[in-house]
């Protein structure tokens, strides 16, 4: 199965900085609490202020991340 890597960019108010990272919509990972492999699936929604939100798997940090008022572009497939 090939995964489409995407580049996400957004401004984080909490850090007063722009964040750029690579992410995917689906990712298999090992859950240490249950001792089983699980599949993360991304979600998209609009928050109460009308900003688009995208929850995805950050490949560099190896955990889920949520971008608000983001821009995304496709990269390469792996």
What is the per-residue pLDDT across 8-28, written as a single tens digit (0 to 9) for each?
999 998 999 999 999 999 999
Residue 1 has pLDDT above 80, yes or no: no
In the block, which residue shows the tokens 């995805």? 56
- φ, ψ for residue 42, nearest 5 deg: -70, 160
With cut-offs at 50, 70 and 90, classify the pLDDT of residue 65: very high
Q: First vs last Cα of the chain: how many Å apart?
A: 8
Integer Cα distance of 14 and 30 in angstroms: 29
* 3-class SS of residue 14: coil
CA dihedral 28, 56, 78, 18 (to 10 degrees): -140
């Amino acid at each position: 199965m090939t995964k489409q890597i995407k580049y996400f960019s957004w401004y984080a108010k909490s850090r007063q900085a722009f964040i750029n990272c690579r992410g995917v919509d689906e990712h298999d990972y090992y859950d240490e609490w249950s001792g089983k492999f699980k599949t993360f699936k991304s979600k998209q929604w609009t928050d109460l202020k009308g900003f688009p939100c995208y929850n995805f798997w950050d490949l560099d940090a190896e955990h889920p991340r949520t971008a608000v008022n983001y821009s995304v572009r496709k990269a390469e497939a792996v």
